[in-house]
A and B are shown apart, each in its own frame.
Chain A
Amino acid sequence: MELTRRNAIVLGASALFVAGLPKQGRAATSDEVIAAFTGGAEVGTGDIELTAPEIAENGNTVPIEVSSTAATEILVLAMGNPTPNVATFKFGKLAASRSASTRIRLAGTQDVVAIAKLEDGSFVQASSTVKVTIGGCGG
């Protein structure tokens, strides 16, 4: 395609459109997901640790680890993914430590957030920014 004035305007406008739309949608849904998990309770910081790499070359498999000393449930969210939910870990009676690790997909550079529900019913969160070189959502 030749880069004429008209083409440039069309390109610019469509890029703005694409960039502008999904962001609003995402912000709303991740807030909703958090509200559904906490029931509107305040989320503090403290007894939760999220281990994620600073830079992930491939967004298709990013190793993460969550750990806490008194969590009954841990919710993991990827704020920049088309759907922010990643996983929910529920720890039973025989879970020796409140920690688990897995591999997740990230669509691009973004914050990964872990929210833990503690035994006393309060909520704490931790977050970590992961730089992704190749996104993991396919085309």
Chain B
Amino acid sequence: MASGVKPRVKVPKKAAAGDTITIKTLISHKMESGQRKDDDGNIIPRSIINRFTCDFNGENVVDITLEPAISTNPYFEFQALVPEAGEFKFTWYDDDGSVYEESKMIAIG
């Protein structure tokens, strides 16, 4: 499932050094749970994003393990410390081996 996957991330453009900011992330993905059946009664194989990580300048913020019970288009909201200017890196790992990446710069000021 590599089609139509689009990560979206909301990070403030500026923050004061040492500030706490709220980050919201969403990725469009159908998160097929492996429990549903198609019209012929065959089980639709599981296809989900199984891991999401957020790092800032190489330092980990959160590392989340996802299971099939996470809703379609996985959404996460969490808080991060911004000690200096730099780059937030977001990574999603798909069951099929695909890796989706997104990054956002943040300035101090």
Contacts and interface: CB of A to CB of B under 8 A. Distances in A.
A95 B36 contact: no
Contact of B35 (A82, A89, A96): A82
B79 A81 contact: no
A26 interface: no
Contact of B67 (A83, A91, A95): A83
B105 interface: no
Interface in B34-78: 35-37, 55-56, 59-72, 74-78
A83 B79 CA distance: 29
B37 A138 contact: yes
Contacts of B81: 94-96
Interface string A89-106: 111111111011111111
Contacts of B71: 60-62, 102-105, 136
Q: Interface of chain A, helix or strand or loop or mixed? A: strand
Q: Which of A81, A86, A105 has the most C-beta atoms of chain B within 10 angstroms of its own C-beta?
A: A105
B33 interface: yes
B11 interface: no
Interface residues of A, number: 32
Give the contact-size bracket for chain B. Answer: 20 to 34
Given A100-B78, A137-B35, A139-B36, A85 B67 contact: yes
A88 interface: yes
Nearest to A93: B59
A83 B70 contact: no
Contacts of A83: 67-69
B103 to A, nearest CB: 15
Contacts of A61: 71-72
Contact of A92 (B37, B61, B74): B61
A60 B32 CA distance: 12
B80 interface: yes
Interface of A: 60-62, 78, 81-83, 85-97, 99-106, 136-139
22 contacts: A60-B71, A81-B69, A82-B35, A83-B67, A83-B69, A88-B64, A88-B65, A89-B62, A90-B60, A92-B61, A92-B63, A94-B56, A95-B80, A96-B81, A97-B20, A97-B79, A100-B62, A102-B75, A103-B75, A105-B68, A105-B70, A137-B36
